[in-house]
Chain A
């Protein structure tokens, strides 16, 4: 199941009064369970090849923390020891701050914690994706100015 299909199911459940939703077949199981705060839901998704957790929280008043059940990560390990850097928003992927600037990173570059990998832009909202740990860029999976979905893998990196 891809992220789009999962999002569709989450949206369907969010739009109803369903408190708990479970779906299982031979190779995957999905459990969606609403939290105590109105509108909050948590989602568990397991498949034969990977385990992934995604959670969404409905809008809450400013200053109110997102409940700790929100456990999705932007970085995820792979079998060959590489880690995935994913897009946190739907948007357009940019490898440089402006068309005539050099790219933030190239394959083979060592990236320090806090250094910027790229920008994902949506509706004039510029989201700089920063490294959460020191790593080496092994693969860049998107082209400059390409549209990306929420959760799309942008880079494979090797933790140093």
Chain B
């Protein structure tokens, strides 16, 4: 894999303070966590051409073939209480959707809590991992995988949500480097905006990128089925849903399917 950017060329304040480019690795999150344990500076980025053990929520595999996609992780050490870390994770999906829009003029959207969609299909996923005691974050790793140039036969066969890539939607191959640069620059700006303006500013932007607001969904939430209309997210990032009985619910973890009327 050839990447031509360097920390000096990125014009970022923290993200990409150190850059590590890997060929094949088990998982960029795993490497980022090891580096974080060893005291790597905040903003360290790990990029890989291929992952042999990429994973998503609850250990679900994330297919990561070589030469086609983006797989990257960032180490952050925000000076906030661990219970605020959930707010910061929304910058991952927001930066990914924003970078897709900026790089390829596509209408990428976000899906709660942290997926990235294109034309209603899943194009990217995140896995954020926190190491903290009750009062202090030791480190936070923001991991992102985005399907850029995956072909049909490379896509996962059985997924909870239909998947796609930018190339499949646009009909031509796109630049991984362009996406990576835009993603890291946007992530850096959003990270600082979180501290300067608070979560409410990010929340509004995230909601404007979310195609699910006002839509009806089916959810498997913490072991029970819930149906209702998506209202938005609250100050802590929980999903607000109006159930069929008219009552509002706050959800913090769920698999969501859109209902197509």
Which residues of A are in contact with B by a Cβ distance under 8 Å? 55-57, 59-66, 70-74, 86-92, 94, 97-99, 101, 121-128, 130, 132, 145, 147, 150-151
Contacts and interface: CB of A to CB of B under 8 A. Distances in A.
A127 B139 CA distance: 11
Interface of B: 14, 42, 57-60, 76-86, 89-90, 112-114, 126-136, 191-192, 194-196, 198-199, 222-223, 236-238, 252-253
B128 A126 contact: yes
A88 B134 CA distance: 4
Contacts of B78: 62
B60 A122 contact: no
A123 B79 contact: no
Given A66-B136, A92-B253, A101-B59, A125 B83 contact: no
Nearest to A94: B58
Contact of B133 (A88, A90, A91, A98): A88
A127 B90 CA distance: 16
B6 to A, nearest CB: 21
B197 to A, nearest CB: 10
A133 to B, nearest CB: 12
Nearest to B142: A125
B129 A128 contact: yes
Which of B57, B134, B195: most chain A Cβ within 10 A? Answer: B134
A86 B83 CA distance: 13
B253 A127 contact: no
A59 B194 contact: yes
Contacts of A66: 79-81, 135-136
B49 to A, nearest CB: 24
A50 to B, nearest CB: 16
B60 A98 contact: yes
B60 A90 contact: no
A60 B86 CA distance: 16
A140 B132 CA distance: 20
A73 B237 contact: no
Contacts of A92: 222, 252-253
B132 A59 contact: no
A76 to B, nearest CB: 9
Contact of B127 (A89, A90, A124, A127): A124
Nearest to B191: A62
Contacts of B238: 123
